[in-house]
Structure 1
């Protein structure tokens, strides 16, 4: 099996998440993946998948605007389109080690999403 580049891993990560394919996502993430984002943090593959599944319940589309990769680093700029808020401009940075996503940092303004979640409750 050929090892994917960091860019290919990022592309697969986003298409899998958008499709709700969490088995493929699990294969992409390092066991000790470290996630820090606007809505929380996660340590390890199980916590990271739980967070992705949670947001996945309202995820409609990931509209990628640009992806920049250099070596083991990838930044993806996209609109996070959900059923509870207008499209949210989002930046996602990933670091890849040994062919797996090891670190993820995500930043966006969470206000509209949080308000949307509150309305659903």
Structure 2
């Protein structure tokens, strides 16, 4: 099962990088929840609408798995800044149900 869960999380990142937001949303459960340093979102479509505006680009540096969960360390290109980030993807039945993200926000706040 681990390979499938890593695959869905990696595909999700790939689709975001390609700006294929419809396919990215297909990786998420409809009741997807996002928790991050600077806010939270509930619902796959709400989250994807934000991603359409931000158009972040991800470079995966390391992948960790535990059961069906996948955790990435990645660099996220947020436009003017590249931020080292960890994302924890909770996956059930082949869909991402939640994402928790942690990073040091100071580079974004000290513009």
For structure 1, the residue ranges without an aligned partner over 5 or more in a row are 117-121
Distance in 1 of aligned mates of 2:76 and 2:29: 24
* TM-score, normalising length: structure 1: 0.81
For structure 2, the residue ranges without an aligned partner over 5 or more in a row are none
| Structure 1 position 114, deviation (Å) | 4.0
Hey, what does 2:107 align to over in structure 1?
A: 112
Hey, what does 1:119 align to over in structure 2?
A: none
Aligned-residue CA RMSD (Å): 1.6
Correspondence 1:75 to 2:74: no
* TM-score, normalising length: structure 2: 0.88
Correspondence 1:101 to 2:100: no
Aligned residues of 1:42 and 1:51 also touching (Cα < 8 A): no
Looking at CA atoms only, which structure, 1 or 2, has the larger radius of gyration?
1
| Structure 1 position 109, deviation (Å) | 1.4
Runs of 4+ in 1 over 3 A off after TM superposition: none
Hey, what does 1:13 align to over in structure 2?
A: 12
What is the correspondence of 1:27-106 to structure 2 with a 5 Å cutoff? 27-56=26-55, 59=56, 61-85=57-81, 87-106=82-101
